[in-house]
Amino acid sequence: MSGKENRKEIALKEGKPFVYVTCPLCGLNRILHKHEKGRIRFGNFDLKKGYFIQVRYVRGGRGSGFWLNPEESLTLKDAIPLQEYRDLLLQIKKRSQELVRVLKKVK
């Protein structure tokens, strides 16, 4: 058994479990509970006003942050007619349709 396999086996036997939720659209995962509060919320992206394409600027250096430029950022409505985002939007559309088919089984 390799060192990595051994560490995994020990963690599975002795470690503390954390439950994660994985986004079925993008695969990003988040811990389900943090500090006894539910952390996962779907629907917090405003489909009309939220920036689907965000242009952010950074100067660099510790603590400089990322600064959103709303004038260069795009809502979904703004991005739909642009060819450069077509493939990305089609991927989201296809995956969303697949997700709806699977979720129809939820009662």
- What is the chain's percent helix, strand, coil content, to nearest 5? 35, 20, 50
| pLDDT over threshold 60, residue 33 | yes
Burial 5-26 (b: 16+ CB within 10 A, else e): eeeeeeeeeeeeeeeeeeeeee
| pLDDT over threshold 70, residue 37 | no
| pLDDT over threshold 80, residue 10 | yes
Ranges of each domain in the chain: 1-44, 47-107
Give residue-wise pLDDT tens across range 44-75. 889 999 999 999 998 877 777 889 999 999 99
Beta carbons of 92 and 60 less than 8 angstroms apart: no
Rounded to whole angstroms, what are the CA distances from 43 to 36, 40, 47, 50?
21, 10, 9, 11
User: What is the DSSP-derived secondary structure letter of residue 85?
Assistant: G
Rounded to whole angstroms, what are the CA distances from 79 to 37, 68, 70, 83, 91?
35, 17, 14, 8, 14
Neighbouring CB atoms inside 10 A of 41's CB total 8
Across the range 75-104, mean pLDDT stands at 96
